[in-house]
């Protein structure tokens, strides 16, 4: 028995040694490096054309639920098949980066979405993704050439779908990706690459169950049903992406929301597991934390540039904030 076990073990080690010349980088190594870089989750999905999710997107677009975000109808074929972003792509490495703030603004003061508290996430996430890809390149077999591009909310890519397929979490009834035991306060990022993984992750089944707190809490009913958001009524869309006026009905329901909403995440039971972000770039400035209602009465462009210099709040532009301020009760 001893000799048989010795033989099996050494044959296994021999084949592992042979394979090591072909696969120098593994999914486990990538996930460990992602964790070292500060990502809260990392998974890898095999690149395949997206069919069912695209049909849902087509139906959503046909109803006009994208509101003024006409760009969501562009590049349909690339959304369906990420090989349009990287020719010959075989894998998508998906990551999640925590942005939940340790310090929050006074809830009696104008609300700013948590994701915009710190430095604009696009560059922060992309820089970490570049570092992760450089790690992959350093560990590829000698003479191997692989191509990749990094993205975070910056390409016609179905980010939440690929994060789900890579096993990071499930898409909740509020349309947010929910990480088990961690919640939904995360930025998503992707590396689309020609590298073929030694193992691929499996999707996480939904754990929303019968809970419908997000649907009941949505202040305007923009969450018409589970997994269906009508952006025409969404206060997050109307105060960030929207370039026109806020409709009268939604304006009356703004409350103290200056930029974004967060309600459907705040009521989600899974976010009781949220822990404060440790990324230094996501820590809010004192100027942002201390912004008061009174400051908005004479809010100048200099104030805007000073307080939101490197923040995602810039997405709304100064004119967008002034439009929203007009509807807030700041007397």
pLDDT of residue 5: 54
Q: What CA–CA distance (Å, rounded) separates 331 from 312?
A: 27
**Can you tell me the distance from the alpha carbon of 135 to that of 256, in angstroms, rounded to the nearest whole number?**
44
Q: pLDDT band for position 166 (50/70/90)?
A: very high
Over 90: is that where the pLDDT of 10 sits?
Answer: no
Of residues 156, 149, 130, 8, the one with CA closest to residue 76:
156
pTM for this model (two decimals) = 0.91
What pLDDT is attached to residue 14?
Answer: 39
User: Where does the pLDDT of residue 317 fall: very low under 50, low under 70, confident under 90, or very high at 90 and above?
Assistant: very high
Give phi and psi for 56, each to the nearest 5: -65, -40
Distance of CA 275 to the CA centre of its chain: 16
The predicted pLDDT at position 329 comes to: 79
Alpha-carbon separation of residue 171 from 120, 158, 180 (angstroms):
24, 12, 11
Residue ranges per structural domain of the chain: 25-107+114-193, 213-325
Other CB atoms within 10 A of residue 175 CB: 16
CA–CA separation, 145 and 54 (whole Å): 32
Alpha-carbon Rg for the chain in angstroms: 22
Cα-flanking dihedrals φ and ψ of residue 225, to 5°? -160, 175
Backbone angles phi, psi at 124, to 5 degrees: -65, -50
Question: At CA 310, angle to CA 308 and CA 312, rounded to 5?
Answer: 75
Would you name the residues annotated as active-site residues?
153
| Tens digits of residue pLDDT in 68-92 | 999 999 999 999 999 999 999 999 9
* The predicted structure's pLDDT at residue 9: 53
**What contacts 184, CB < 8 A, 6 or more positions away?**
169, 172, 174, 176, 177, 178, 265, 268, 270, 271
Residue 285, classified by CB atoms within 10 Å of its CB into exposed (0-12), middle (13-18) or buried (19+), is: middle
Q: Are 98 and 275 spatial neighbours (Cβ–Cβ below 8 Å)?
A: yes
The pLDDT confidence band at residue 20, using thresholds 50, 70 and 90, is very low
**Structure tokens belonging to residue 131:** 């570092």
Band of residue 15 on the pLDDT scale cut at 50, 70, 90? very low
Nearest in space to 196 (alpha carbons), one of 18, 85, 48, 79: 48
CA proximity to 39, closest of 102, 118, 125: 125
Question: Which residues make Cβ contacts (< 8 Å) with residue 249, sequence separation at least 6?
Answer: 220
Instruction: With a cut of 70, say whether residue 6 has pLDDT above it.
Output: no
Long-range contacts of residues 114-118, Cβ cutoff 8 Å, at least 24 apart: 114/185, 114/262, 115/185, 115/187, 115/260, 115/312, 116/259, 116/260, 116/311, 116/312, 116/313, 116/315, 117/282, 117/283, 117/284, 117/288, 117/311, 118/277, 118/279, 118/281, 118/282, 118/283, 118/284, 118/311
Contacts (Cβ under 8 Å, ≥6 apart) of 242: 67, 68, 320
Q: What is the Cα–Cα distance from 304 to 171, expressed in whole angstroms? A: 34
- Please state the rounded mean pLDDT for residues 270-275: 98
Question: CA angle, corner 40, sides to 37 and 43, nearest 5?
Answer: 95
pLDDT of residue 294: 95
């Amino acid at each position: 028995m001893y000799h048989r076990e010795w033989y099996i073990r050494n044959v296994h080690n021999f084949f592992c040694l042979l394979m090591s010349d072909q696969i120098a980088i593994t999914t486990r190594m990538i996930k460990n490096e992602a964790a070292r870089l500060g990502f809260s989750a990392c998974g890898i999905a095999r690149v395949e054309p997206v069919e069912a999710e695209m049909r849902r997107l087509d139906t959503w677009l046909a109803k006009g639920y994208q509101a003024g975000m006409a760009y969501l109808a562009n590049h349909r074929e690339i959304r369906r098949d990420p090989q349009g972003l990287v020719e010959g792509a075989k894998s998508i490495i998906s990551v999640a980066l925590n942005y939940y703030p340790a310090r929050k603004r006074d809830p009696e003061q104008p609300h700013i979405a948590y994701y915009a508290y710190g430095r604009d996430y696009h560059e922060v996430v992309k820089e970490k993704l570049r570092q992760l890809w450089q790690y992959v390149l350093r560990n590829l077999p000698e003479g191997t050439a692989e191509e990749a591009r990094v993205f975070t909310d910056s390409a016609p890519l179905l980010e939440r779908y690929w994060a789900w397929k890579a096993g990071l979490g499930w898409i909740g009834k509020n349309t947010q990706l929910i990480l088990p035991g961690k919640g939904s306060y995360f930025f998503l990022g992707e590396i689309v690459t020609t590298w073929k993984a030694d193992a691929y992750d499996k999707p996480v089944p939904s754990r929303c169950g019968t809970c419908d707190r997000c649907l009941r809490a949505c202040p305007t009913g923009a969450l018409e049903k589970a997994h269906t958001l009508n952006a025409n009524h969404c206060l997050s869309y109307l105060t960030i992406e929207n370039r026109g006026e806020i409709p009268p009905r939604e304006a009356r329901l703004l409350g103290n929301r200056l930029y974004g909403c967060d309600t459907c995440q705040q009521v989600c039971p899974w976010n009781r597991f949220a822990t404060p972000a440790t990324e230094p770039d996501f820590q809010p400035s004192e100027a942002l934390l201390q912004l008061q209602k009174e400051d908005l009465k004479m809010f100048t462009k200099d104030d805007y540039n000073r307080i939101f210099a490197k923040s995602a709040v810039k997405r709304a532009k100064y004119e967008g904030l002034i439009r929203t301020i007009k509807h807030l009760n700041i007397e």
